[in-house]
Structure 1
Amino acid sequence: MTATRFPQLEPMAQLDWAEAVEQGLHLATAASPADARHAWIHRAPEHEVLARYRATCACSGFVPSPWWLRAVATGRLRCRDDGFRVEDRIHALLSKRPGWEYVPWAVDGESGFWEFLPSERGETGHRIPTSILLTDRHTGWIDVLAAHSAAPPEPVAVAGLAGLRARAGQFEALR
């Protein structure tokens, strides 16, 4: 009698991480960053999120993740809640200005962003509007991409919320 061999299943770090960042159906209706925080990485104890993130990066290299998680993991941001505060303050500023819309969907695992809709198909006919993105590449945490149609331009680093508030009119003029 021959033994039946069953496949041995092992968890894959990438699949485990994909579940950790999965937003589910809530994302389509999110009108603000706070509305889009439904993934495990937003709710689980922060030390567990960091441990899983670091373990996945150790196995896979770069993994899709929100800007704040990368910043917390490198010690450049104190905690996840500080990242949430940055997102919420940007949203509070832009939601009071006409033309800005929050876009909750981004690359898998990334945070949402804001688009200045009047810059799309404006005078220059650009297909992609001026966008405000969150980043961990500098400690101002905010990048602006000017309206464009082809390859994206180099991001403009903004010095935090105060810098965004001071330059918002300039960014809205990028058409």
Structure 2
Amino acid sequence: MDFGRGIGSSRTAAHPPALEPLDALEWSQAVELPRIVATATRPSEIRHAWIHRGREREVLALFRAVSARVEMIPAPWWLRALAEGRLDSRESGFRIEDRVAQLLSRRPGWEYVPWAADGESGYWEFMPSENGRSGHKIPTTILNTSRHDGWIDVLPAHTGTTPAPIAVAGVGGLRSRLGEFEAVR
């Protein structure tokens, strides 16, 4: 009796091994953040994963390899824009995040939320818009996006269904509209 052949044949047919491509496993490790980032107060404080420190062309190559097989993988907005050829570098993405942080951290009521999913950038919430006079359960939220070349979306304070994001034309556009976004309380 050929034990190796008999066992291998029935196992393959009945229960094929569940194998994850090595680059997908490598990606999950590449975006993993240490627990310490949960106390971050600005985006620069969460840039500890390999995607933030590794050689940019290697990060981009791995992202492209994995995203070619999997429709939506966890990745920061700037990496998606970089892969699409719409952003010139990872540093440019960091600079945009840091300019938003510089603007919002000086204004009362804005808090940085660093605990987005691994690989994702954090976001900003305007806390006075939550449970204020208008009774909204979800505060006004500002997040960076690769959805458009202004790189900033605002989700208005709301309860229930998430409203469509408002595209903002960069940090200058955000600065000029902050009064409008902060008026919802």
Determine if the TM-score, normalized by the shorter chain, exceeds 0.5: yes
Structure 2 counterpart of 1:24, one-letter code: P
SS in 1 for 2:149: coil
Question: Could you report, residue by residue, the CA deviation over 1:22-41 in whole angstroms, capped at 9, with x for unpaired residues?
Answer: 01212212111000001110
Structure 1 counterpart of 2:41, one-letter code: A
- 1:8–1:142 CA distance, 2 compared to 1 (3 A): closer
Contact 1:13 1:60 in 2 (8 A): no
- 1:170–1:9 CA distance, 2 compared to 1 (3 A): closer
Residue 40 of structure 2: aligned partner: 30
CA RMSD of aligned residues (A): 1.9
Percent sequence identity over matched residues? 60
Within a 5 Å distance, the mapping from 1:1-175 to structure 2 comes to 11-175=21-185
Which sections of structure 2, spanning at least 5 residues, go unmatched? 9-16
Contact 1:13 1:59 in 2 (8 A): no
Contact 1:20 1:41 in 2 (8 A): yes
CA distance in 1 between counterparts of 2:114 and 2:181 reads 20
Report how many residues are paired: 174
Structure 1 counterpart of 2:75, one-letter code: S
Contact 1:135 1:141 in 2 (8 A): yes
Q: Which runs of 4+ in 1 moved over 4 A?
A: 1-5, 7-11
Please report the TM-score for the alignment, with normalisation by the length of structure 2: 0.88
Structure of higher CA gyration radius: 2
Which sections of structure 1, spanning at least 5 residues, go unmatched? none
With 7-16 and 98-107 compared, the bigger mean Cα shift is at: 7-16
Deviation at 1:15, TM superposition (A): 2.3
Contact 1:76 1:139 in 2 (8 A): yes
- 1:10–1:67 CA distance, 2 compared to 1 (3 A): closer
Question: Could you report, residue by residue, the CA deviation over 1:107-137 in whole angstroms, capped at 9, with x for unpaired residues?
Answer: 3321000000000000121111000011001
